[in-house]
Amino acid sequence: EYDGERNSEGERHGRGKAHLPNGDTYNGEYEHGFRSGQGTYRFRNGACYAGEYLQNKKHGRGIFFYPDGSKYEGDWVDDQRQGYGEYTYANGDTYTGEWFNDNRHGQGTYVYKDTGSKYVGGWVNGNQEGEAELIHLNHRFKGKFLNGNPVGHGKYVFDIGCEQHGEYIQSEEDKGEGEEEEEPSLLAAPKWKASEITKLTLWTPHGENPPSP
């Protein structure tokens, strides 16, 4: 059922309220029969979207409250989280940064509420990937990530004034003599192999100055 403005062709056009057959409701602007412009859409499961629409799709700026208590505030394209936005998860973690196709994608910052740790860097299709810093209470790790794990060379920087350089190596699980594996086991987490400890090296836009001898 619809209560609101229509144009001369009888289409929903202007401001109006609608009760959808599935129990959802929409209160907002219409253009030629489509939800277009500003509006608030309440889902019968408790979710709610308030923001911009274009031809029945979330498009532009908007905020979405999910049934689990999480929320996303930011850009939408064609019904998907895309552009720049902040997501607050049900457990209190937050992600602020770039989105593409509903996924964290590009550059962004993820804050872990329980520990206060922070991941600042690259994301690909929802996973931590690319150059990043993992910042903890009194130290930080600078390096590269792949599928949410650190890979290759990097360094730990400690607030007490030193750095530990090294690399993450994919550890191989020990196999028994001549054993055949029916299926590949899940890869173990990469292991950190330290190479040297230095004083703090100054960061410059062109990379890092070598530690002084």
Assess whether 102 and 13 both reside in one domain.
Answer: no
If you search the block for the tokens 């196999």, which residue do you land on?
A: 175
Assess whether 101 and 57 both reside in one domain.
Answer: no
Assess whether 52 and 109 both reside in one domain.
Answer: no
User: What is the chain's mean pLDDT, rounded?
Assistant: 90
Assess whether 104 and 50 both reside in one domain.
Answer: no
Percent of the chain whose pLDDT exceeds 90: 82
Assess whether 111 and 197 both reside in one domain.
Answer: yes
So what's the pLDDT on residue 175?
A: 47
Q: Are 6 and 18 in contact (CB under 8 A)?
A: no
Domains held by the chain: number? 2
Assess whether 99 and 18 both reside in one domain.
Answer: no
What burial class does residue 31 get, using C-beta atoms within 10 Å of its C-beta: 0-12 exposed, 13-18 middle, 19+ buried? middle
So what's the pLDDT on residue 64?
A: 98
- Residues 161-172 pLDDT 10s: 999 999 999 876
So what's the pLDDT on residue 170?
A: 82
Assess whether 122 and 198 both reside in one domain.
Answer: yes
Per the model's pLDDT, the better-predicted residue between 184 and 139 turns out to be 139
* Domain presence at residue 113: yes
Residue 88 has pLDDT above 70, yes or no: yes
Which range of residues forms the domain containing residue 110? 91-172+190-203
Assess whether 197 and 106 both reside in one domain.
Answer: yes
* Domain presence at residue 41: yes
If you search the block for the tokens 């190479």, which residue do you land on?
A: 195
Q: Are 158 and 137 in contact (CB under 8 A)?
A: no
CATH of the domain at 144: 2.20.110.10
Assess whether 97 and 199 both reside in one domain.
Answer: yes
What's the pTM?
A: 0.84
Assess whether 116 and 197 both reside in one domain.
Answer: yes
* Domain presence at residue 211: no
Assess whether 1 and 74 both reside in one domain.
Answer: yes
